[in-house]
Amino acid sequence: MSDELKTIESITSQEYKYGFVTDIEQETIPPGLDEDVVRLISAKKSEPDWLLEWRLKAFRHWTKLQAAGAEPTWAKVKYPPIDYQKIVYYAAPKSMPALSSLDEVDPKLLETYAKLGIPLEEQKQLAGVAVDAVFDSVSVATTFKETLAEAGVIFCPFSEAVQKYPELVRKYLGSVVPYTDNFFAALNSAVFSDGSFVYLPKGVRSPMELSTYFRINAANTGQFERTLIIAEEGAYVSYLEGCTAPMRDENQLHAAVVELIVLDDAEIKYSTVQNWYPGDKNGVGGIYNFVTKRGACRGDRSKISWTQVETGSAITWKYPSCILQGDDSIGEFYSVALTNNYQQADTGTKMIHLGKRTRSTIISKGISAGKGQNTYRGQVKIMPGAQGARNYSQCDSLLIGDQCSAHTFPYIDVRNASAQMEHEASTSRIGEDQIFYCRQRGISTEDAVSMIVNGFCKDVFRQLPMEFAVEATKLLEVSLEGSVG
Amino acid sequence: MLDIVDLHAGTAATAGAPGTNGAGMTEILTGINLHIKAGEVHAIMGPNGSGKSTLAQVLAGRDTYEVTAGSVTYKGQDLLALSPEDRARNGLFLSFQYPVVIPGVNNIYLLQASVNAIRKHRQQEPLDAVDFLVLVREKIAEVQLDESFLHRPVNEGFSGGEKKRNEILQMLLLEPSLAVLDETDSGLDIDALKVIAEGVNRYRRADRALLLITHYQRLLNYVEPDRVHVLMDGRIVKSGGPELARELEAGGYAPIQEALAAAR
Ligand SMILES: Nc1ncnc2c1ncn2[C@@H]1O[C@H](COP(=O)(O)OP(=O)(O)OP(=O)(O)O)[C@@H](O)[C@H]1O
Ligand SMILES: [Mg+2]
């Protein structure tokens, strides 16, 4: 192997920078899952009966799936069987009760955020971003509520929405991702802990970008977020989600559900930067990230745009999708997924075209380094009624070193002959000759790799809000950086 | 400026290949001696496959080639001990015979990164985007390339001649002290040749040296060399003044090969 390849390898085998554990007293219940646990979670949150009933139905469905061995196995990922009875399904920081300002938040928690480089206090001033921080299972801080309230935007923890806006939650919860959708969605529906709720009434454009930082901390606590965003006619919101997690040995299960609903002329832009603990160099530990994200463009001329930068987790299983029901509605998916060391990612999207002249765009950039495995799995379905539908898909893979792999599985199902479909795919390797060319121009191997990787991702980064783009660029650098020999 | 003494280099051999030596190497350079002083222009000519590009790449530090014997001293230091980027930062520039395509990376981005990497080494402040744009606009006009080339991915879809102009643009921006141009004059139309030659002459200074690898007299009509060397089978077999290039142009390499054979 040449020196350049060796250097690239040492660059890509760097360890996770964000590993630490916060010592905050936790209120937890013993591990295990049965109906009583579901009831207990619901009771802790003083939920209405209809919600408890819904959770129980989900739980019974999940139990059936589990008995039938229906945990999905089609993804190109490998992991030992998960013992669902060993997982703790509820944990909340003890010093929890109603906080009216940041000052009341446990200083340790604020310290944790500071270590992550996302101090809440600065976030407030910075860029006018409202932050609803989810620490483990319960939301502990919500900022900028007033400005948002003035504009008519509802942005609050999911559990608060259940209390304050039960009719909205009841109307939309499970309407895009029913609990019967898949194994992990059923599990989430039964035991979801908290998450975010956003509601934009007719004609309201959010005056700021909404952002939530998620964090998994308590040992062996599965994290089951539930996010619901509804944009009424003509409304607009850009929602950012970013996360890192502490160093852990045990694998931690994360099974979130995100549902988006967009009515006539409304738009939701949903951006994610995901940097959960990927496991160590030898593939020990790391987060299992099994997420169901789906949006319904119910209205005419409505639009949903998913942008994701996935650099973390041991396993990522995630397909943010769009159901394009309204005529002239638009679905977009922009993705960068990086796998390093022993990370595995099976990610992509589904675009279901139902309405006339619906359009979708898929730009997927997979980067594999070390022994990483990266799979793009996408489905574009044009239903008979989708006259004049169009799709453009582009799936590019970049390989760094010679021990990683990339796979592409595009599924295309066209049932209306008027559809226009375009698919492009490419695989390239960062070549020794490219690195040498850069070095001959005075640029170090490390900088050359990061320059080429950033160039590869720029069509996706361009979609991210400014601060997020900067963070994403840094993240890729950190994920690929190391001691250059 | 540059002293090459008895330089031997090669690649790890494919088993049983002819010319394989005991160490499992295929030797490509078989004992090069070359001395270039500041202010001088040297030309290297030689048949295809004689080792010209290999010499250029070894000077630039490509690790595909292993140096098995000899030494290279550049500005008083052991060139072979430096990494490729340190050689570049110390003023060694190679214009590639086959410039490399880097998809996704805009040309201007690479240019700015390399100018600033070299400025950093010289302990100069980095140029910000605005200052750099002013500089690069001035230099790109000198090589008569359109500014749109700044915003295209490095060498992607560039024609042969455009790639060569882009190499010269880099040379003008980086202001090296020793420039090795590997067939920068190949594949150029008549006007482009003139543009490249003017670029090269603009670069020339009493404290800078040039090593031109070429197959043709044409470039040498514009850039008069102090010395011309003939490389064959990995060695310099003949050196002379500018008239040597004209002789080769007229008679080819056969007379030299015959003379060599007769001498054996
Ligand atoms: N990486 C390599 N592996 C194997 N053989 C090589 C390698 N690089 C060069 N060679 C061989 O070494 C010899 C010299 O190659 P080189 O590219 O230096 O020739 P050149 O003089 O530049 O030729 P041209 O005029 O065609 O550019 C050739 O026979 C070539 O095939
Ligand atoms: Mg050559």
Q: Would you state the pLDDT for residue A224? A: 87
Do residues B32 and B4 make contact, with C-beta atoms less than 8 angstroms apart?
A: yes
> pLDDT at position A471, please?
73
Residue of A428, A441, A456 lying closest to B88 (CB–CB): A441
Per-residue pLDDT reduced to its tens digit, B14-61: 545 555 555 567 899 999 999 999 999 999 999 999 999 999 999 999
Q: Whose Cα sits closest to atom 24 in ligand 1?
A: B48
For residue B97, the ligand 1 atom closest to its alpha carbon is 27
Closest residue CA from atom 29 of ligand 1: B49
Helix, strand, or coil (residue B172) = helix
Enumerate long-range contacts of A117-122, CB under 8 Å, 24 or more apart. Answer: A118/A213, A118/A242
Pocket of ligand 1 (CB under 6 A): B 11, 28, 46, 48-54, 64, 97
User: For residues A474 and B2, what is the distance between their CA atoms, to the nearest angstrom?
Assistant: 41
pLDDT of A55-86, one tens digit each? Answer: 999 999 999 998 888 777 777 878 888 888 88
Closest ligand 1 atom, residue B234 Cα: 14
Quick one: DSSP state of residue B81?
A: G
| Alpha helix ranges (H) inside A340-444 | 432-440
Check residue A476 and give its pLDDT: 77
Mutation target vs A (from B80, B85, B173; most A CBs, 10 A cutoff):
B85
| Ligand 1, atom 26: closest residue by C-alpha | B48
Query: A363 - beta bridge partners?
Result: A334, A394
Q: Taking CB atoms and an 8 Å limit, are A437 and B100 in contact across chains?
A: yes
pLDDT tens-digit readout, B204-263: 999 999 999 999 988 999 999 999 999 999 999 999 999 999 998 888 888 888 888 887
Q: Which helix (H) or strand (E) holds A168?
A: helix A166-172
| CATH assignment at residue B51 | 3.40.50.300
Give pLDDT, residue A278.
78
Residues B126-146 have pLDDT tens digits of 998 889 999 999 999 999 999
The H or E element containing residue A452 is: helix A445-461
| Closest Cα in chain A to B92 | A440
* Residue in A432, A437, A458 nearest the CB of B96: A437
Position of tokens 């930062």? Answer: B89
- Radius of gyration over alpha carbons of chain B, in Å? 19
Q: Is A262 helix (H, G, I), strand (E, B) or coil?
A: strand
A485 CB within 8 Å of a chain B CB: no
Answer for the pair B245, B225: CB distance below 8 angstroms, yes or no.
yes
pLDDT on residue A481 = 55
Among the partner-chain residues A434, A440, A455, the one whose CB lies closest to the CB of B84 is A440
Using a 10 angstrom Cβ sphere, with 0-12 exposed, 13-18 middle and 19 or more buried, the burial of residue A343 is buried
Residue of A nearest to B62 (CA): A436
Q: Are B222 and B201 in contact (CB under 8 A)?
A: yes
Question: CB contact, 8 Å: A4 with chain B?
Answer: yes
**3-class SS of residue B139:** helix
Model confidence at B67: pLDDT above 50: yes
First to last CA, chain A: 15
Name the residues around ion ligand 2, CB cutoff 5 A.
B 52-53, 97
> A62: which 2 tokens?
């999940």
A123 near A129, Cβ under 8 Å?
A: yes
Q: Give me the interface pTM, i.e. the ipTM.
A: 0.95
Check A2 against B64: CB less than 8 A apart.
yes
DSSP designation for A223: B
Q: Which residues of B touch A440 (CB under 8 A)?
A: 60-61, 84-85, 87-88, 93-94, 96
Task: Note the pLDDT of residue A446.
Answer: 87
For B37, the domain range is: 2-263
Minimal CA–CA distance to A391: which of A410, A366, A409?
Answer: A410
Look at residue A215 in the predicted model and tell me its pLDDT: 43
| Residue among A266, A259, A273 at smallest CA distance from A312 | A273
Residues of B in contact with A454 (CB under 8 A): 105
| Cβ pair B2, B35 in contact under 8 A | yes
Q: Does A462 touch chain B (CB under 8 A)?
A: no
Of the candidates B256, B85, B2, B198, the one whose C-alpha atom is nearest the C-alpha of residue A438 is B85
Rounded Cα distance between A372 and A400, Å, is 10
Whole-Å CA distances, A476 to A12, A338, A473, B80: 10, 8, 5, 33
How many other CB atoms are found less than 10 A from the CB of residue B87?
25
According to the model, what pLDDT value does residue A16 have? 53
B104/A443 touch (CB, cutoff 8 Å), yes or no? no
Q: Given phi > 0 = left and psi -120 to 50 = alpha, else beta, which region is B186? A: beta
A 10 A CB-CB count for A68 gives 9
Give the whole-angstrom CA distance, residue A369 versus residue A378: 22
Q: How far apart are CA A446 and CA B116, in angstroms?
A: 15
d(CA A312, CA B67): 42
Beta strands in B148-208 (DSSP E): 153-154, 178-182
- Hey, what amino acid is at B143? V
Determine the straight-line distance between the first and last CA of chain B, rounded to whole angstroms. Answer: 34
Q: Which atom of ligand 1 is nearest to the CA of B46?
A: 21
A460 touches chain B (CB under 8 A): no
- Mean predicted lDDT score pLDDT of chain B: 91
Whether A455 sits inside 8 A of B174 (CB atoms) is no
- Give the span between the Cα atoms of A25 and A115, in whole angstroms: 19
Closest CA–CA distance from residue A294 to any residue of chain B (Å) = 30
Residue A70's contacts (CB-CB under 8 Å, 6 or more residues apart) are A183
Taking the CA of residue B215 as reference, the ligand 1 atom at the shortest distance is 25
Sites in chain A below the pLDDT cut of 50: 1, 5, 7-8, 11-12, 20, 95-99, 109, 112, 116, 118-119, 121-130, 135-143, 214-221, 247, 249, 482-485
Confidence (pTM): 0.79
Residue numbers in A near B63 (CB within 8 A):
2-4
* Placement of tokens 């799979």 in the chain: A375
> What is the predicted pLDDT for the residue at A129?
38
The number of folded domains in chain B is: 1
CB contact under 8 A, A439 and B88: yes
CA of B222 to the centre of ligand 1 (A): 28
Rounded Cα distance between A399 and A442, Å, is 24
**SS3 call for A479:** helix
Which of helix, strand or coil describes residue A100?
coil
Q: What is the pLDDT of residue B228?
A: 95
Alpha carbon distance A181, B96 (integer Å):
57
Using DSSP bridges, classify how beta strands B227-232 and B235-240 pair: parallel, antiparallel or unpaired. Answer: antiparallel
In whole angstroms, give the CA distance from residue A249 to residue B215. 63
The whole-angstrom separation of Cα A254 and Cα A225 is 8
On the question of pLDDT at B181 being above 70, the answer is: yes
**Which residue's alpha carbon is nearest to atom 18 within ligand 1?**
B51
Q: Is A456 on the interface with B (CB under 8 A)?
A: yes
> How high is the pLDDT of residue B13?
62
Which residue does chain A place closest to B59, by CA atoms? A440
Side-chain-facing half-sphere of A318: CA atoms under 13 Å: 33
Q: What is the rounded distance in angstroms from the CA atom of residue A388 to the CA atom of residue A358? A: 7
